[in-house]
Structure 1
Amino acid sequence: MTRPAPGTTPAPVPRPRAGPAPTPLPGFAVTSHLLRAFSSTEPGAEGTRLVRDIRRSKRLVLLRGVLDAAPGGADGETGQHWALLEEAERHAPGAVRDVLHYPATGAWAEETLRRLHEPHGPAPDLAHLGALAAAAALRAGVTFKITLRPLHGRLVLPTLGLLRPARPGPVALTERSWDPADPAVLALHSLPGGRTALDDLDPYRALGHPASVRPARRLTPKGHKRWDIQWTGALTLLERYDSTRAGEVGELLRTLVPLAGGARSTGATLPAAAGSVLVRGQTPPALAATLVHEVQHGKLTALADVLTLHTADRTPCYWAPWRGDPRPLEGLLHGAYAHLALAGYWQRAALYGARGAWARHARCRAQVAAVLPVLQAARELTVTGREFTAGMATAERAMDDLPPPGDQYATARRTVDHERRAWCGEHPELAAFTAS
């Protein structure tokens, strides 16, 4: 792994609730054509490649920030762990990329960088870089020896699983330490197809999750089997109804993190853990829709890392027809973008005869159509943001070419408008932020 050059733009520390937008990552050019393609939500090879490149660049900048800010820098223990990563990269660069660009690694890097810059806050978990280095070295097949300290009797090795040492205290790992047949080893569960993992092990898999999202603990083999069935069913439906979105899910989704049974949310995407979706167990049709929805959040987050779409803060003041609480402009834009993709997915599913798909399409489209005028009228939109929302509006209007039978869409529009008026009655101080 090539070490990011000293002096690289420091990684943007997550902004406070009402803070300004972070500085976009330098070095990326997004053409007007590509921006329009992105705004439609429709998958494309160029857009997918851009998302992956942005994620990789951001991750390397974050890791460089951790290395620079760590006590002792490149000469301390952190530097030694980084040196092991570099050695592993010389033997198997793909293996090291898999470890460093693993979704939970991003959550760890952002939190660690935040703590390094807050001297009076909790101590940063710099030892986790050693776990990353060990995982990379094991996967690369290099000879090494590293001493790590388990947490609560568990030593997690990202992308591999975890070890449960027989004795407390530090553990000396070597290239012979990882044996999937060893009862002390719990391997990360791969979902059918082998491209996406079900992560119920990594301590950073859901770091920073909202109150409505609670990750499940380690599942039983029976629990893994249930997820295998749900996942296979969902992918089968995606391939049948919308093969391009199925391909996009395969390219951009690295891990599923199962939610606990009591979690109120059906799905969530954490910006720090790019390529991961936190999701509750669902029927295959519902899971397929959740995957389409959540992957859009990841795409838009990547785009916002290189482009400034708006300058609004995090003040919640907008009505969003898919939620009851007021949303900031950023949240409204994300929700509209994800629901635009859902409207397109359900339209295609309906054309294949999926039961109830026309009604779902009409509902999602009506919700998007209701908030697009609000988004386009927002003074905080940049020129780029206006072009992006105009592209969303064009994609929404294009759905007229294949309307649902009867008056389903008109009925959905009336229902959404009734919900808007009711919400304004409950939030009169925010009524000016909704469309009339």
Structure 2
Amino acid sequence: MTIRWHDLSPIQFAGLAGGYGGDRAVAALTRAQLSKHLLLIKFIADTWSGDRAHRDAALAVLVRAQRADQDRFAEVLTEPLVGAWTAVTTRRLRGVTRSGVPLDVDCNHLSAVAAAVAARAGLDADLTVHVSGGGVTLPGLGRALTGIPDHTPVTVRVRDGRATVGGQTGWQPLRQLTAVAAGRELRVGLDDLDPYRGGHHAPPTDRLDPGEVQRWQDGFAAGWQLIADHDPVRAGELSAGLRTLVPLARLDAHSARSATIRDAFGAFGLTRPGNPADFAVMLIHEFQHSKLSGVLDIQPLTDPADTGLHFAPWRIDPRPVGGLIQGVYAFLGIAQFWLRLLDVPELTETAEEEFALSREQVRWGLRSLEASAALLPAGQRFTAGMRSAFEALAGRGLPTAVVRRAEEALHGAHTVWQQRHAGALRG
């Protein structure tokens, strides 16, 4: 299987540092994920000490598929939750993490990936896979239900683009959320099936009922309308790179949660937002994390050996520099979006408050980041790009009372943080 060397052009790097980047830069980040996933698959295949016949059959299918249809091959291999699987399994093979799942089952998810590739590429294949969560999940396609105990090996047969699993009693397709606005379409998977969709600070939901799926669809379409109408560059980025939403369980009646897993570029988990603006902001917020994670796969920005902790105005705990730069970048994107909503009559009041607060959060976060000695030269350039973008935001006038409330909120948060974590703040 072919692996390429990847880099960002100076223009792409500068654009991403300024909070945007555009669809071409996001496409470059996505292409890099293919090589990353292939490298990790090679490590898994080389290190796996289980059934080599399963491994060799899966690798042979992947090689055939890459030769037969590179686009379909790349489509499956860049699935975000394929990335999550490669990362989880690599850490297990290196002894970094443990799991109650047999290691051979995690490793042999390679066969499920190969079956999905064969189905997409129209190749015939017979592969041995393992049951997990009551069925066999084929990334990007769905789950074959079985009455067979978890971790049992079964055969998946692929013919004419269709996969059938031994002992199959039903099929749950991967649902899709679709939205079209301002001539732009966004289509993402709503994944409540994949065994590697977890790892957030709230558990993923089980299979959603049709009524709840419709509520997700309605909120998604309304949020996309706001983005496509008022932030077309951001819309282009999302269309180019966002692939999967993982619904998370709501742990209490008032909590709304979202989180991006570092190894799943183009996916994030979230509880269903309550209104279109919240849905739009959540899409932008979390995709900012994906973009920066994609940059970090190509170009390190901070010294991983640095142990310094910093004040991050959106958290109550001290943050390492890696978490700080992620937060600044995410809130920069949020502030840029709220700026674009200031002139939407029904949102102006909310937009003023949210823009003022997120802009102030970026101001404080940049101050901590720029004082850190952990920034590598590329990190210094990236931070400088964020600073330039912030200065453009800083020039936008707002009502005095709105600005004062944001400043007071941040000063108050900083005071509380200092009291709780005396001596931890740097910069």
TM-score (norm 1): 0.86
- Given that residues 223 and 277 in structure 2 are in contact (C-alpha distance below 8 angstroms), is that contact kept between their aligned partners in structure 1? yes
Moved more, 253-262 or 413-422: 413-422
**2:112 is equivalent to residue 140 of structure 1:** no
- Indicate the structure with greater strand content: 2
The aligned amino acid for 1:131 is A
How much has 1:3 moved relative to structure 2?
4.5
CA distance 1:407–1:32, change in 2 (3 Å) = farther
SS of corresponding position for 2:342: helix
- Given that residues 316 and 326 in structure 1 are in contact (C-alpha distance below 8 angstroms), is that contact kept between their aligned partners in structure 2? no
Aligned partner (choices 37, 40, 43) of residue 18 of structure 2: 40
Cα distance in 2 for partners of 1:167, 1:118 equals: 29
Aligned partner (choices 175, 179, 185) of residue 158 of structure 2: 175
What residue in structure 2 maps to residue 280 of structure 1?
271
CA distance 1:119–1:303, change in 2 (3 Å) = closer
The aligned amino acid for 1:112 is T
Residues 147-192 of structure 1: per-residue CA shift (max 9 Å, x gap):
333224311111111111356654332235648xx97011000112
The aligned amino acid for 1:174 is R
Cα distance in 2 for partners of 1:205, 1:36 equals: 32
Cα distance in 2 for partners of 1:201, 1:111 equals: 17
Cα distance in 1 for partners of 2:406, 2:324 equals: 19
CA distance 1:45–1:425, change in 2 (3 Å) = same
Residues 217-237 of structure 1: per-residue CA shift (max 9 Å, x gap):
111111111111111111011
**2:342 is equivalent to residue 350 of structure 1:** yes
CA distance 1:148–1:326, change in 2 (3 Å) = same
Residues 222-258 of structure 1: per-residue CA shift (max 9 Å, x gap):
1111111111111011112212112211211100000
CA distance 1:152–1:338, change in 2 (3 Å) = closer
**2:299 is equivalent to residue 307 of structure 1:** yes
- Given that residues 189 and 244 in structure 2 are in contact (C-alpha distance below 8 angstroms), is that contact kept between their aligned partners in structure 1? yes
- Given that residues 258 and 268 in structure 2 are in contact (C-alpha distance below 8 angstroms), is that contact kept between their aligned partners in structure 1? yes
What residue in structure 1 maps to residue 311 of structure 2?
319
**2:426 is equivalent to residue 433 of structure 1:** yes
What residue in structure 1 maps to residue 290 of structure 2?
298
The aligned amino acid for 1:90 is R
Cα distance in 2 for partners of 1:41, 1:358 equals: 20
What residue in structure 1 maps to residue 409 of structure 2?
415
Cα distance in 2 for partners of 1:167, 1:414 equals: 59
Aligned residues: 406
Cα distance in 2 for partners of 1:142, 1:32 equals: 40
- Given that residues 256 and 272 in structure 2 are in contact (C-alpha distance below 8 angstroms), is that contact kept between their aligned partners in structure 1? no
SS of corresponding position for 1:184: strand
Cα distance in 1 for partners of 2:18, 2:114 equals: 40
What residue in structure 2 maps to residue 67 of structure 1?
45
SS of corresponding position for 1:107: helix
The aligned amino acid for 2:420 is E
What residue in structure 1 maps to residue 59 of structure 2?
82
Unaligned runs of 5+ in 2: 180-185
Residues 94-139 of structure 1: per-residue CA shift (max 9 Å, x gap):
2222221111111111122222233995524122111111111122
**2:355 is equivalent to residue 377 of structure 1:** no
CA distance 1:153–1:128, change in 2 (3 Å) = same
- Given that residues 277 and 294 in structure 1 are in contact (C-alpha distance below 8 angstroms), is that contact kept between their aligned partners in structure 2? yes
Cα distance in 1 for partners of 2:404, 2:96 equals: 57
Cα distance in 1 for partners of 2:418, 2:290 equals: 30
Cα distance in 2 for partners of 1:94, 1:29 equals: 20
The aligned amino acid for 1:420 is H
The aligned amino acid for 2:14 is R
Moved more, 280-289 or 307-316: 307-316
Aligned partner (choices 5, 28, 32) of residue 54 of structure 1: 32
The percentage of counterpart residues that share the same residue type is 32
SS of corresponding position for 2:128: strand
**2:232 is equivalent to residue 246 of structure 1:** no
Aligned counterparts, 1:2-41, within 5 A? 2-4=1-3, 27-41=5-19
- Given that residues 99 and 158 in structure 1 are in contact (C-alpha distance below 8 angstroms), is that contact kept between their aligned partners in structure 2? yes
- Given that residues 69 and 113 in structure 1 are in contact (C-alpha distance below 8 angstroms), is that contact kept between their aligned partners in structure 2? no
SS of corresponding position for 2:187: coil
What residue in structure 2 maps to residue 153 of structure 1?
134
SS of corresponding position for 2:192: coil
The aligned amino acid for 1:91 is A
CA distance 1:398–1:77, change in 2 (3 Å) = same
TM-score (norm 2): 0.88
How much has 1:71 moved relative to structure 2?
2.8
The aligned amino acid for 1:274 is F
- Given that residues 40 and 86 in structure 2 are in contact (C-alpha distance below 8 angstroms), is that contact kept between their aligned partners in structure 1? yes
**2:215 is equivalent to residue 262 of structure 1:** no
Aligned partner (choices 177, 181, 184) of residue 191 of structure 1: 177
- Aligned CA-pair RMSD: 2.6
- Given that residues 12 and 21 in structure 2 are in contact (C-alpha distance below 8 angstroms), is that contact kept between their aligned partners in structure 1? no
- Given that residues 205 and 273 in structure 1 are in contact (C-alpha distance below 8 angstroms), is that contact kept between their aligned partners in structure 2? no
Cα distance in 2 for partners of 1:418, 1:81 equals: 56
How much has 1:91 moved relative to structure 2?
3.4
Moved more, 46-55 or 221-230: 46-55
